[in-house]
Amino acid sequence: MKLTPKQLSELIQLAVQSRPDDTIGCDGCHELMEEFAQAELDGVEISDSLLVVQAHLAQCRCCRAEYKALIEGLREISH
């Protein structure tokens, strides 16, 4: 199936709409990931600015893998 640019933009629109919470993308996630990991390790309440990280991690497998590695690294430091 060949898509016209219009159909393509509609598809992208649909994809965006189905993920309304993921507003930061991978770059934004990387910037906030460490702060988010630290908050989680400290057991402090996740602020609104970090909730977007959580939303992104829920949807992005590669960031989730990085986050897991980061958490493990931070756990080792704190022990």
Q: Which residues of this chain interact with Zn ion, rule CB under 5 A?
A: 26, 29, 60, 63
Closest distance to Zn ion from the beta carbon of 34 (Å): 14
- Comparing CB distances to Zn ion, the nearer of 3 and 19 is 19
Work out the widest C-alpha separation in the chain, in whole angstroms.
56
Please, are residues 30 and 69 in contact by the beta-carbon 8 Å criterion?
Answer: no
- Comparing CB distances to Zn ion, the nearer of 60 and 70 is 60
Ranges of H-type helices in 1-79? 5-17, 25-42, 48-59, 61-78
Closest distance to Zn ion from the beta carbon of 56 (Å): 6
- Comparing CB distances to Zn ion, the nearer of 7 and 59 is 59
Residue identified by tokens 């704190």 is: 78
